[in-house]
Amino acid sequence: MAKKDFMFTSESVTEGHPDKVADQISDGVLDAILEKDPKGRVACETAITTGFVLVMGEITTAAYVEIPKIARQTLKGIGYTDSRFGIDWNTCGVLSSIDEQSPDIAGGVSTSVEKRDEKTKLAREEKSIDELGAGDQGMMFGYACRETDVLMPLPIVLAHKLCRKLAELRKKGDIIFLRPDGKSQVTVQYENGKPKSVDRVLLAAQHEPDVSDKEIREVLIEKVIKPVIPAELMSKDIQFLINTSGRFVIGGPQADAGLTGRKIIVDTYGGFGRHGGGAFSGKDPSKVDRSASYAARWVAKNLVAAGVADNLEIQIAYAIGVAEPFSIMVDTFGTGKIDEDKIVELINGHFDLRPGAIIRDLNLRRPIYQQVAAYGHFGRDDLNLPWEDISKADAIKQDAGL
């Protein structure tokens, strides 16, 4: 039975957090390649530290992109324009070490087991869909719920909004003492399985050295927290925790080295639901870590929008080189309106979850990825993302008899 009364906390980080900087550089490289070569194979990792960026990985493409320029422009756009912030886009060192994709992996991905074995070759779709095998083994999860208009959990939605507000006010010059690095954390009190109030809000914001702790606290509460957290959701005993470590002058890559793929819970559902462990950024859509996770969100969101459940998680598993999913599992946490076996039948009837079909149906071979490398890949009502589309919900609702 699902737990009914509890407190749940989710965190987010700003675009200037070193791990998020790395994600944005990796996805910037991916976008640049997909713009010139939609079928390019990319597995791009970035490491960043004081004054230095390393871009590495396996990339197979006939296109040429200027990786150092992409890294520098990403840093500049975030706001790392002064070495006092931990790194300066114009003077930092940038090194790239790129190899081609392993031919063993390429062979399995380019021609699926089903296509290689004529006895099991599928005939329901065009040849190109059958040919593409999963880029790796693994399990991917998708999640949706009715807590917010974007069908996402409330804690992660609020945490992202706080970090975006920090970045917005910094870039506009409305809070002049802010620097690029920062984090948020939001704790929500649930009653009967539904969010009742926000009990704690934590902000960690990098700042100039000559500003007082008192000014930081007052300004961030008035200009960041109160405009973001709805007044009706604030508990009467709400706690505001600002820079609880004390001063936060040294931040960014100078304080912590950044790596691609270290913020997988920030990228997804803030800890609600499960996670298969695979990161998204820097990976082209032949990698099911990315494309199947997007498809899983697409499936879950449409099912919840159709009224099949109020709270739904889907797991999709794959084997490298195999097109058909290894398994599909659904959990409605006791909120389902129909049997979960029937929901799996609906999924199979309305969605084709082979990698080639996912890429086709969500139009994933295009440069759309750097924009989601900060502030979450899901629930983004500010972007027109294909996996957030719920146009299948009406047909699912009809077939479910709801």
Which residue out of 72, 207, 275, 283 is catalytically annotated?
283
Is 284 among the residues known to form the active site? Answer: no
Q: For this structure, is 289 an active site residue?
A: yes
| Catalytic pick among 183, 275, 301, 392 | 183
Active-site hit among 287, 297, 392, 397? 287
CB 29 within 8 A of CB 282: yes
Active-site position among 58, 82, 352, 399: 58
- 248 catalytic per annotation: yes
Helices (H), 96-153: 103-110, 113-116, 127-131
Which residue out of 15, 20, 275, 292 is catalytically annotated? 20
Kindly name the residue from 11, 15, 19, 181 that is annotated as catalytic.
19
Catalytic one of 45, 114, 147, 310: 45
Residue from 328, 363, 356 nearest 112 by CA: 356
Task: Assess whether 256 carries a catalytic annotation.
Answer: yes
Closest Cα to residue 387, out of 306, 325, 299, 310? 299
Radius of gyration of the chain from its Cα atoms, rounded to whole angstroms: 22
Q: Is 287 a catalytic residue?
A: yes
Which listed residue (8, 15, 17, 144) is catalytic? 17
Nearest residue to 171 via CA among 351, 356, 374 = 374
Catalytic site includes residue 136: no
On the CB side of 214, CA atoms within 13 Å amount to: 0
CA 256, 259, 260, 261 torsion-angle sign: negative
Q: Which of 171, 194, 255, 257 is catalytic?
A: 257
Which one of the listed residues 263, 297, 301, 392 is annotated catalytic?
Answer: 263
DSSP output for 265-301? HHHTTTTSS---S---TTB-TTSHHHHHHHHHHHHHH
- Residues 6+ positions from 186 with CB-CB distance below 8 Å: 9, 10, 11, 155, 158, 159, 162, 198, 200, 201, 202, 229
Q: Is 257 a catalytic residue?
A: yes
Whether 66 is catalytic: no
**Which is the catalytic residue, given 8, 85, 248, 378?**
248
- Let me know if 351 is a catalytic residue: no
Q: Mark whether 283 is an active-site residue.
A: yes
Residues 6+ away with beta carbon under 8 Å from 213: 242, 243, 246, 247
Question: Is there a contact between 142 and 297 (Cβ–Cβ < 8 Å)?
Answer: yes
Q: Confirm whether 19 is a catalytic residue.
A: yes
31: tokens are 């976008």
Q: How many Å separate Cα 363 from the centre of its chain?
A: 17
The angle formed by the CA atoms of residues 95, 101 and 107, to the nearest 5 degrees, is: 175
Catalytic residue, from 262, 290, 297, 301: name it: 262
Strands of 38-171, DSSP E: 41-49, 52-60, 81-82, 87-88, 93-99, 138-145
Structure tokens that stand for 119 in this block: 């006895």
Catalytic-residue membership of 126: no
| Catalytic option among 23, 27, 181, 289 | 289
Q: How far is CA 352 from the centre of its chain?
A: 22
The residues annotated as belonging to the active site are: 17, 19-20, 45, 58, 183, 248, 256-257, 262-263, 283, 287, 289
